[in-house]
Amino acid sequence: MSLVVQKYGGSSLADADRIRHVARRIAAERATGSSLVVVVSAMGDTTDHLIELAGQITRDPDPREMDRLLATGEYQSCALVTMALHTLGTAAVSLTGAQAGIRTDTAHGRARIANVDPARILRELEAGNVVIVAGFQGSTADSHSAGEITTLGRGGSDTTAVALAARLGAERCEIFTDVEGIFTADPRVVPEARLLPVIGYEEMLELAHQGAQVMQTRAVELGWVNDVEIAVRSTFSDHPGTRIKEDPDVEQRNKVRGLATDRNVAKLTLVAVPDRPGIARGVFAPLADAGINVDMIVQNVGHAGATDLSFTVPRSDLVRARRLLEPIVTEMGARELTVDDSVAKVSIVGAGVQNAPGYAARMFGTLADEGINIEMISTSEIRITCMIGEAHLEKAARALHRAFELERPEAGVPAQAH
Amino acid sequence: MSLVVQKYGGSSLADADRIRHVARRIAAERATGSSLVVVVSAMGDTTDHLIELAGQITRDPDPREMDRLLATGEYQSCALVTMALHTLGTAAVSLTGAQAGIRTDTAHGRARIANVDPARILRELEAGNVVIVAGFQGSTADSHSAGEITTLGRGGSDTTAVALAARLGAERCEIFTDVEGIFTADPRVVPEARLLPVIGYEEMLELAHQGAQVMQTRAVELGWVNDVEIAVRSTFSDHPGTRIKEDPDVEQRNKVRGLATDRNVAKLTLVAVPDRPGIARGVFAPLADAGINVDMIVQNVGHAGATDLSFTVPRSDLVRARRLLEPIVTEMGARELTVDDSVAKVSIVGAGVQNAPGYAARMFGTLADEGINIEMISTSEIRITCMIGEAHLEKAARALHRAFELERPEAGVPAQAH
């Protein structure tokens, strides 16, 4: 049996017309004879609306109750997509994340999938149904009365889709969204950005980590670990999009594959903190416990027994991070905690970037030529990230896109390699 | 332990302000030391909005998918009320109908509660939590993967509340709504209608059946069978409202307690249907299978082997009823099926009405004096209902309210008997 997993994002399901359009796509795929599992996000801005409603009630919602609230968006869309399929004469059934066998840990709001029990899905496929699964969610145990609903964090429906594709041994996993695929840069920032027909898992992971919001990073990780080839495609066209896969051609290509830009970043600095063991743990452990991701970290050379410690957090977590850190700062005898939320990150990503020193030099040189000051630098095996003033982000991205000739198709990779 | 069950309707939870208001009421009750189980409906017109959304997708939604969709409204409100309680420092936890142990039959859209497993609620009460339960819904079995979500029909949250009060042996069951209690007539129709401090179960049941929309009839039945005293009160005042209970004073009072009016009615007539056995079953069995309630039935005296059969259905079910009956009419050789949707019902209700023939005479005489034609009559032990033209409904209700002196408080029943 040839099994396909598809996922449709919220903008693809924003109203009844779009839901009907998605249903027609699903029915057409089903008509080719594939068995189909379809993961859906909440309609349009439903999740944002629910977050706003909770915000009108409390600044600090209980994570369990928040998950109960947010999980309802996907319940609604999966019931509606199923109804739309019925009008087309396509047998279909909706399942909640819990019913679809998505078992998670207990970290409400950012739960990780522990395992997938496919029994119910397999039974429904066997019965000839297209199975519509509520994305973004799971439950901590099998039973209604013992299990708690959890959500997987923003973009979690991608993770649901890839986890199901892995567990079910799907032939294809298609992520349908409102863009045509993965681009060399965000086309809203760099108009000459080019669609990538193929990208490696690791490259995609770095791009996603550094602000490319097309896919949740955990979904890419899960695809990589389980060797699930993922297609990122547009709901509104027939373009084949971008395939995310283990990339054998990686060494033969331009080593910079893409550019990521990220405004959701803020810089915190502990000024004149005593330079002794345990300081870093004292700062970063409470942030980790609160689920706040620290990205770049720079510790200046100390003098007179004190040092400056700078790091970045998502700008959306800044208020929480500050509230957590302010008492600690006093406790550990630092002079003060300063905050800068007018910064941004620009990254170049490509297999082997780190091993070819010329790339770093070209990146720094390009920014210098544009008169842009680099405030922090971080690197991985396949990525170099510079923190700069947010005002310079677009200029930096365009200059780097040109400097690395990202608008030029790579040799040896046909534009539509399918 | 003194246990109180409260239920708050959708208009009491229409926005964040009202949710906060409800939370303050709950917290105040909790502060008196009561253990509390609170059943909530969906916010404002959420359910209607979801029905409309489904209507944009299909005219004939799958009942299972419709239940999945509609159950989400109560998930949202119970999470939000719980968050609001947390801001007041009141420990609280939300449960879905399934988690609250509401087990139902499999009749999607109009499921009946089969039993209540109170284990989880008792555990949460034991832990000191106010338990907020999603009303209007249950599940067919205990397990997430095997159980299906069901809904209990419009007004089903009342039934959830009374079922929980019965199973938990609650001291009080309070239904909070946007009116101050049960009135002798709908105050929008009869301005001089008077609040009833007490009403018997049977009387309430007849009023609810005949169009008084304050409470779901099944909730009243369940209260009656289990001897649960139900208070119907306003969310927005401290008025004690109306107590629904076994009424020992029933024989000493004015025998007409209240008046019900109902515009949600349509009359169907099978003209010249052959007068032979099996006809009634042929007509009414398919309606019953479709969950359409037939209320008044009149069969005219037959002549020449044929008869006219008239009956009423809720006007909201008229399209479905007609679609079901049209093929049957031809099949059984009737001349035609006629439909009248400009009718309405007015009923007088009171223990012993039937045993005191003077009441019927006074009702028919009053309508005659107003020049109102009676099209059909039906009666029960404690009720007389007349079907009239909808245009005359208000005039009829006001005249009957005066004729039975319903604006006068009854002797021996203090206005606020608490």
Residues pairing with A298 in the sheet? A310
Query: What local confidence, expressed as pLDDT, does residue B251 receive?
Result: 56
Mean pLDDT of chain B: 89
Instruction: State the pLDDT confidence band at B249, using cuts at 50, 70 and 90.
Output: low
Q: Is the pLDDT score of B32 beyond 50?
A: yes
> Higher pLDDT residue, B86 or B316?
B86
Q: Is the pLDDT score of B4 beyond 90?
A: yes
Structure tokens belonging to residue A43: 């309609």
Q: Is A76 within 8 Å of chain B by CB?
A: yes
Q: Which helix (H) or strand (E) holds A395?
A: helix A393-403
Q: Is the pLDDT score of A22 beyond 80?
A: yes
Query: What local confidence, expressed as pLDDT, does residue B379 receive?
Result: 82
> CA of A58 to nearest chain B CA: how many angstroms apart?
7
Q: Kindly list the residues from chain A whose CB atom is less than 8 angstroms away from the CB atom of residue B72.
A: 72, 75-76
**pLDDT tens sequence across B304-361:** 778 888 899 999 899 999 999 998 888 888 889 999 999 999 999 987 776 667 888 8
Q: What is the mean pLDDT of residues A297-315?
A: 82
Would the CB atoms of A80 and B120 count as touching at under 8 Å? Answer: no
> CA of B229 to nearest chain A CA: how many angstroms apart?
28
Query: What local confidence, expressed as pLDDT, does residue B410 receive?
Result: 67
Q: Is the pLDDT score of B145 beyond 70?
A: no
> CA of A234 to nearest chain B CA: how many angstroms apart?
22
Q: What is the mean pLDDT of residues A248-262?
A: 75
Q: Which residue of A has its CA nearest to B134?
A: A68
Of A47-51, A337-341, B269-273, the poorest mean pLDDT is in B269-273
Q: What is the mean pLDDT of residues A315-334?
A: 89
Q: Is B411 within 8 Å of chain A by CB?
A: no
Q: Which of residues 158-217 of B touch A (CB under 8 A)?
A: none
Q: Is the pLDDT score of A413 beyond 50?
A: no
Query: What local confidence, expressed as pLDDT, does residue B155 receive?
Result: 85
- Nearest-angstrom CA–CA distance, A99 and A132: 11
Q: Is the pLDDT score of B417 beyond 80?
A: no
Closest to B366 measured CA to CA, from B350, B391, B384, B351:
B384
CATH topology of domain B3-178: Carbamate kinase (3.40.1160)
> Higher pLDDT residue, A413 or B405?
B405
Would the CB atoms of A61 and B72 count as touching at under 8 Å? Answer: no
Would the CB atoms of B139 and A139 count as touching at under 8 Å? Answer: no
> CA of B37 to nearest chain A CA: how many angstroms apart?
16
Would the CB atoms of B69 and A79 count as touching at under 8 Å? Answer: yes
- Nearest-angstrom CA–CA distance, A293 and A316: 11
Query: What local confidence, expressed as pLDDT, does residue B355 receive?
Result: 67
ipTM of this predicted complex? 0.79
Q: Is the pLDDT score of B259 beyond 60?
A: yes
**pLDDT tens sequence across B401-412:** 999 999 887 654
Of A24-28, A205-209, A391-395, the poorest mean pLDDT is in A205-209
**pLDDT tens sequence across A69-125:** 999 999 999 999 999 999 999 999 999 999 999 999 999 998 999 999 999 999 999
Closest to B23 measured CA to CA, from B81, B94, B95, B93:
B81
Query: What local confidence, expressed as pLDDT, does residue B252 receive?
Result: 53
Query: What local confidence, expressed as pLDDT, does residue B309 receive?
Result: 86
H-helix segments, B197-268: 201-209, 217-226
A144, A96 contact by CB (below 8 A): no
Would the CB atoms of A54 and B83 count as touching at under 8 Å? Answer: yes
Q: Is the pLDDT score of B253 beyond 70?
A: no
Query: What local confidence, expressed as pLDDT, does residue B272 receive?
Result: 87
- Nearest-angstrom CA–CA distance, B294 and A354: 78
How far is residue B264 from each of residues B100, B124, B181, B214, measured CA to CA in Å?
A: 33, 41, 22, 15
Structure tokens belonging to residue A406: 């990202």
Per-domain residue ranges of chain B: 3-178
Q: Is the pLDDT score of A127 beyond 50?
A: yes
Would the CB atoms of A99 and B144 count as touching at under 8 Å? Answer: yes
The pTM assigned to this predicted structure is 0.83
Only one residue has tokens 């170099």, namely: A384
Q: Which residue of B has its CA nearest to A138?
A: B144
